[in-house]
Every structure is written in structure tokens, then in C-alpha cells.
Chains A and B, each alone.
Chain A
Amino acid sequence: MDTIGADIVVKTLLEEGVEAIFGYPGANTLPLNDRLTGSRIRHYLMRHEQGAAHAADGYARATGKVGVCLSTSGPGATNMVTGIATAYMDSTPMVAITAQVNSDLWGRDAFQETDIIGITMPITKHSFMVRDVNQIASSFRQAFELAGSGRTGPVLVDIPRDILSAPCGDQPKRRPAAPPSKPAGNPEQIERIAQALSRSERPVIIIGGGVKLGNACDRATEFVQTAQVPFVTTMMGIGSVATTNGFNLGFIGTHGNELANRTVHQADFILALGTRFTERSTSRIEEFAPLATVAQIDIDPTSIGKNIRVDLPLVGDIREALAALIPLIVSRERKAWQERIRTDRQTLGEKLIDGGCGQAGTLIRKIQAAMPRETIAVADVGLNQIWTVRTWQSHSPRSLLTSGGMGTMGFSLPAAIGARVGAPDRDVVAICGDGGFHMNIQELATISTYRLPIKIVVINNGHLGMIRQMQDLFYEARFTTSFLGDTVDLTAVAKGFGIQAERVAMDEDPEEAIARMASAPGPYMLEAMVDPNAYVYPIIPPGRSNVEMICGK
């Protein structure tokens, strides 16, 4: 066989260390599918391109490597949009490859032609349109470099079929890349931050998703221990620092822990690591941390001061910045502050049974207890997400994956596929609601076909639970468009896909069913029925501040 463009793509992907691609074919991807076969790269045939993008995302979140997805032009490409946006909002390193119609057809509304670069411009870090076989290698190399460096994120490569099929010679070998520069940031500013922290009386560290993305979890743990300062996380930061460490106060924001929100509100100094302070974390921004001097460290200059006023900004690689900070910190005992947090912890702890997660919380706790310690939980969106992120104890950084920035229902099932492919030695459990389960239900077929031993827990309340809760609390219990009904037998559906499944009734102890799921060698679905009136508390009503949490109707 003569060398064609598709061979160069495969070769470049191999050079980049790609082992798995999640995709769905079309006429325009065929030259590439053809040449991928027989290479060391495994192409996982998903059942929808959205699933492919989420799987690549899950793969990246579980491994820290760049995830790769592939779709054809037109509908294949547009189907990936939600998945690309999800990756963008959580800064997942990803390369999305879309095949395009032949270049002589561009701009003619040809069959399955869409301007996918135009469509995805606001949700990608960058994109490449490959116009020439000789650009293939360089475009892909740059795409991987961009996706995985700085503030990581999705990069799209659009490549027309004629270029994939074009005969070509070998392309220049990859030059050994210079190790990416990882600046710690301005040393004087680091000094100032260290001083401000050391002087403060009521300091708190806020750990965002950037700590994981910057592979700085061990440094952050060391930092917390050296500084002896309590920390909170954002939802994306959960699990960055082992939660058993006594300094952890939980996560902040709309659905966060009251202790975390309260403590931030009282703090006189905040050190923010890798967070952009979205309104989900801060609630009413004007009343967020009103007493605090704020220091913010981020690799992305646009994230600094994006949402809140920052007194001590530092643009730098979190890992390096922390390494520079650690020796400068003077740790001291802050008796009054510790005492205050301790009292708060006690009084708040008594207020909430099961951390506000009720029956579902118990279920998730039992699931975790039955699964190996290194299990990865992939939470969907809705009440189930909040229950999961509040209950699941992360013992290592990449143990809890969820769509935080985009809040994409249907994320968990395909992302779990990617996670399992990327981390075949770890167990993976996807936890979703009945609504989110429906959204990418077709991926049960992927799980079944590849016999991926993924555990799926559907917390079935017969409703779009989170929507129902909002209607109950903020729309005077006028329920509309939130009832999903009880006519669908999800367990039978899963079985139909070839997946072992069972249902646990609302008043039944789930323990035995969980044990069966945990010990099943293959994929397993557990449908746990829960009360539609079980909500998540506390919650912050829209427009309120982080200390105005409500704990019931």
C-alpha cells in the first residue's frame, strides 16, 4: 500500500502516545479508519459521537493524557459539540478529529458539509483545518501540544477526505520537543503571597480543578501540611488533596458544604489555586469572602481576576509556584481560628443527617465500601451529582470525575467508558439519575460490546430530581416538565443491551445487591429506587450569598 495522508495521521498519533480513539465512522473518516486498523491504536466504536467526545474526555480525566475522539463531517461533527464544550469548560486536554468533505466541495453546501471549525470556535482552545498533506504531521503535533499545555483544553483538527487519501511521501520526523516551560511566576509576588499568608489570622486555601490539571496534588497536600492552613475546594477540586487530611472543610458553592462556605465567608486571607471563581462557587459575588485579601495563582492569565477582585495575582504553573511558596511559609498555630472552625463543624454536623444526602448518600457510601479503594466514580448531573460528590471519598486525585463547568447530563456513561479504557486496572462506577441515564443510554451497547466491567448505578426517582427540587422550593411546588414517569423498565432495558442488571426497591436494603454488583466480573447495572421528594440540602437560592444556605422548604 502506498503511503497516504491517513498513514501520516496514524503515525503522528502514535508518536504522540495515543493508544485509544473513541469514534464513529462516516464516508469521510474511512481512509483513516482503514489505516488505523492494524495499528497499535485501538478505535472504540461508540454509539453516538457525543458519547465519543465524552469518552475521550473521561479518558483524559482518568489518566491526565490527551483524549482523542473522531467523527465524520456534518452530523458526526455537530454531534460532538456538546462533548467538546464539556471538555472546554473543565479544561480537559483533548484532540477532536473531524473528517471533512473533499476540499474541492468546500462552501458548496455539499452533502454533510458543515463549518465545524466555525461552530466550535468558542469552545475550543484552537483548531486546525488541514489543507495540505504536508501539514498533517505539524497540525496534529501542534494540536497535541496545545491541548496538553498551559491551561489544557480541547483542540479540533478538521481534515478533508481527499487529504486523508492523498498519496504522500514520509514527513519529517518529530523533533524532540523542548520540555514545556513551566514558570513558577514572579518571585517577588510569590514572596508577597507567602508573607500575606503567614501574617493572616484566618486563612483558607481554595483548591480548584487546576490543581489536578497541573499535576500538583502532591504539592498542594504538602503545602496544606506545611502551612497548617484549612482548605476548601471547588467541585472540580474535590479529591486533589486526600480528603481524610484533617484540614479539609469540604467544597464551596451553591451545593457545597455549609462549613466550607461559612469559613470562606469569615476568612481574612484566601489563597486560590487553579480556580476561576465561577458563580457556582461564589454565589452572589458581591458578598463572597467579604473580609478576605485574595491571592490567586493560575497558569491562565485570563482566569485571574475574571470573576472577583484579586489583591495578589500570580500567573504561573501551580506545581512550580507551590514549590516556590512552600519554603517561604511560616507555619503558625492559629488557635482562635481553629477553635471557631471546630465549633462550626460540630454545630453544622449535627444539623445535617447524612451530610444532607439522605437515602442516596447511604447508598453511595455502601457502594464505595463494597468497591476497591482505587475505584473511579463518574458522577452525572443533577441531584445524583451532588449526592455523589458530597459522599464519595476520594483517596487519590483522579477518583471522582464529573462535568462541573458545563453540567452535561448524560456525561457519566460515556465518560466511564473512557475512564475504564484509560485505567484498565481500576474499577469504574458511573452514578447517574434516570434522566441523565437516558441521555446517552445508547452507550450501554458500547459497554456491552467491549465487555467493559463498568458498574452503573441509576438513582431512579422517576423525575428530573434537581428540576423538581427547584420547582418545589422556588416555584411554589408547581411541578411541570419534571416527571419522567414510571413506564420504562430500566433494568429490562439494560438487560436488553446485554448487561446484567437488577432493581432495588425504595424500602429494601441495597447491601446485597451492591455486593453482587461489586463481585460481578462484567458490566453491571443497579437501579436504585429513591423517593422523588428526597432532595439535596443545604442549597443556596438563586441570587443569594454563600452563607444564605437553606436546609429545607
Chain B
Amino acid sequence: MAIEERTISMLVNNQPGVLSRIAGVFSSRGYNIRSLCVAETINPEVSRITLTSRAESDFTEKIKKQLDKLVDIISVTDFTGAPSVQRELMLVSLLLTVENRREVLRAVDLFGCRVVTMSEDHLILEITANKDKTAAILKYFEPFGVEEMNRTGAIAVFRQKREG
């Protein structure tokens, strides 16, 4: 069965233990969670969890139905393949040298990265983009000496109002 990257978003009761149950659904079936984002929604009793996982194409059969069954999960949405906007936030801390400075700054401009701080020999960038783009940007900067990198994992919303 084909393995593909899945983005799943859930509305859950904002309660202790919920995340652990969700993690259990994935781990007990041998799936690895690749990224995870949790935050309260407008209603503080409800949180949204967005996660990505590489899963087989029978994902719906194996995982979504299990998630649907968890008492504290209000809804599960699979964004994979649906028209949606997906973003992740990445912070990259780069070493600046006399040799790379020009090229790095040109790339920062081209990629539309936000400069958080900059000193003689050091630069922190903030990048908001979809996962493919953050990956490409990171790959580009890597040879220049990435000191540290951290990213949030994807969050997503649908592009248009859904039916029903």
C-alpha cells in the first residue's frame, strides 16, 4: 500500500490525557507522528490538534475511525489531498561569515524570510510557509552553517467553506 504524508486535524476536549490517547492510537499501530501542534481554539474548552504522519493509504480505515471513537475527540478532519492552506513556522539560526554574507542576505530577500535579529556574525530567520517550502529553504541554508533550527509542524485550514 502506498505510503503518503497525512495532515490530520482534530478538535478535542481540552483535558489532561487526551493527547496521550491520541498518541496511543498511532503508536499501537506502528505509525510515527512526524509533527504535532496543539492550541486552544476560540472556545477554551476545546483544543485543536494538528498532526502529520506518514501513513498507508488505508489510513482512514485504520486510524481515522479509531480517532473518531475516542470520547474526547469532537471531530477529525483529514486534510490530505483536500484544497487547504497549510503553514508551518520555522526559526533558523545561521552563522554569518565574510564569505557567505552577501549570498545569505540575497537568499533571505528572495525567499521572503523575516529577519528576527542580526549581528556581525549571526542571524535568526523566521519563515512561515508550507512544509515543502520550509524544507527547501532549510536545505538551501544548510551548507552555510545552520546553528539551530526549530519548527512548529503544520497547521491547516480549508480553502473554501466545505459542504455539509
Contacts and interface: CB of A to CB of B under 8 A. Distances in A.
A301 interface: yes
Given A122-B24, A122-B28, A129 B69 contact: no
Contacts of A121: 17, 20-21, 24
B120 interface: no
Contacts of B21: 121
A301 B76 CA distance: 14
A204 B71 CA distance: 35
A501 B15 CA distance: 54
Interface of B is mostly: helix
A424 to B, nearest CB: 34
B66 interface: yes
Interface string B20-60: 11001000100000000000000000000000000000000
A146 B71 contact: yes
B24 A302 contact: no
Given A121-B21, A129-B16, A129-B17, A302 B28 contact: no
A126 B20 contact: no
A306 B71 CA distance: 20
B68 interface: yes
A125 B70 CA distance: 8
A470 interface: no
A305 B71 contact: no
Contacts of B16: 129
Contacts of B28: 122
B93 to A, nearest CB: 35
Interface in B106-137: none
A275 B20 CA distance: 28
A305 B60 CA distance: 11
Contacts of A306: 61
Nearest to A125: B71
A454 B54 CA distance: 53
A117 B65 contact: no
B66 A126 contact: no
A302 B66 contact: yes
A121 B72 CA distance: 13
A300 B61 CA distance: 12
Interface of B: 16-17, 20-21, 24, 28, 61, 65-66, 68-72
Interface of A: 117-118, 121-122, 125-127, 129, 146, 300-302, 305-306
Given A146-B71, A301-B69, A306-B61, 6 more contacts: A117-B17, A121-B17, A126-B72, A127-B17, A302-B65, A305-B61
23 contacts: A117-B17, A118-B17, A118-B20, A121-B17, A121-B24, A122-B24, A122-B28, A125-B71, A126-B70, A126-B71, A126-B72, A127-B17, A129-B16, A129-B17, A146-B71, A300-B69, A301-B65, A301-B68, A301-B69, A302-B65, A302-B66, A305-B61, A306-B61
